[in-house]
Structure formats: structure tokens, C-alpha cells
């Protein structure tokens, strides 16, 4: 993984940046590109980047994170470059990625368009590998450590 991708974590504070979160919430609108850094008790510290959309209840969302209500959000960065799917990325056998391996994964889906996840691989006692709450690999899929994976 390149140093730039990991820089977002070295800048993460030990506590939530409430002031910066409030500022971002006052500015954010549908169509903005945002990076949300999440600290989950279950999945650790990870980042999700994608276009902001408005959910059913009128709340802004980035992926599965409701920006105005999630107590796990550490920081919201607006005005970042939109993530690009890495369609030419190398693929790696998921069995070579131990728990905790830092990865950056991109997805291209009809629902979410292109979005990116950055963080450590979480491996459990099943066939799935996750970054945050997102499944990034199973027995038939692959991800690229330190690079991108598009699916």
C-alpha cells in the first residue's frame, strides 16, 4: 500500500474530531465526494470514500455510514478526489492475506458506483475477508494488498 493511503490514518486523532465533523455536516450535500474515517470496536480504524447520497430519512450517507448519527465517525473529509476503479489491478490469492494486512480496495457497483475502502483485513472463522463491515474477498474473490481491487 502506498504511503499516501496510509497517511489518512496517521493523521487520525485518538478522539473524535467533533468540531471538524460538525463543520463537514453543515457543508455536505448530495453529490459531494467524501472520506469518512471510522473507528469501530469490532473492525478497528478504516476509511470509506465515495459520493455522498441522501438516504430514505433525509440523512447524508457515505456507503453504509449515516454521517449525522454515527458515533464511530472519527473524521469527515470533503472535497477529495473521487476514487477510481483499478480495473487493471493485480489479483492476489485471499489466503495470502493474514488478519491485519493493510489494503485499499475499490469497488464498481451499480448501486454505489465507484467507492474505496482502506484499512486492515479482518479475518474470522469463515471464508470471508472484510475491511470494516464490507466483505472484500471470499473463496472466489481476491484483493490486492497495498493496491486496488475492482469487482
pLDDT for the residue 24: 92
Domain regions of the chain by residue span: 3-78
pLDDT average, residue stretch 52-81: 89
Confidence of residue 150 (pLDDT cuts 50, 70, 90): very low
Say if residues 92 and 101 touch (Cβ distance below 8 Å).
Answer: no
Reduced to 3 states, what is the DSSP secondary structure of residue 89? coil
Q: What is the DSSP string of 7-51?
A: HHHHT--SS--HHHHHHHHHH--TT-EEEEEEEETTTEEEEEEEE
Q: What percent of the chain has pLDDT over 90?
A: 25
Tallying the residues shown for the chain, one arrives at 151
119: left (phi over 0), alpha (psi -120 to 50) or beta: left
pTM of the model: 0.78
pLDDT for the residue 85: 75
pLDDT for the residue 151: 45
* Residue 34 clears pLDDT 90, i.e. is over it: yes
Confidence of residue 47 (pLDDT cuts 50, 70, 90): very high
108-145 pLDDT per residue, tens:
878 778 889 999 998 877 788 899 888 888 865 555 55
pLDDT for the residue 118: 92
Say if residues 35 and 76 touch (Cβ distance below 8 Å).
Answer: yes
pLDDT for the residue 35: 94
Place of cell 470496536: 41
Amino acid at each position: 500500500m502506498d504511503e499516501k493511503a496510509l497517511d489518512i490514518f496517521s493523521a487520525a486523532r485518538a478522539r473524535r474530531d467533533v468540531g471538524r465533523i460538525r463543520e463537514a455536516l453543515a457543508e455536505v450535500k448530495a453529490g459531494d465526494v467524501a472520506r469518512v474515517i471510522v473507528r469501530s470496536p469490532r473492525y478497528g480504524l478504516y476509511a470509506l470514500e465515495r459520493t455522498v447520497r441522501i438516504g430514505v430519512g433525509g440523512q447524508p450517507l457515505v456507503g453504509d455510514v449515516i454521517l449525522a448519527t454515527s458515533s464511530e465517525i472519527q473524521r469527515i473529509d470533503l472535497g477529495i478526489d473521487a476514487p477510481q476503479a483499478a480495473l487493471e489491478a493485480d489479483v492476489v490469492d485471499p489466503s495470502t492475506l493474514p488478519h491485519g494486512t493493510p489494503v485499499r480496495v475499490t469497488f464498481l457497483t451499480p448501486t454505489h458506483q465507484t467507492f474505496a475502502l482502506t484499512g486492515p483485513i479482518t479475518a474470522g472463522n469463515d471464508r470471508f475477508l472484510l475491511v470494516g463491515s464490507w466483505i472484500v474477498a471470499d473463496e472466489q474473490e481476491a484483493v490486492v494488498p497495498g493496491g486496488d481491487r475492482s469487482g
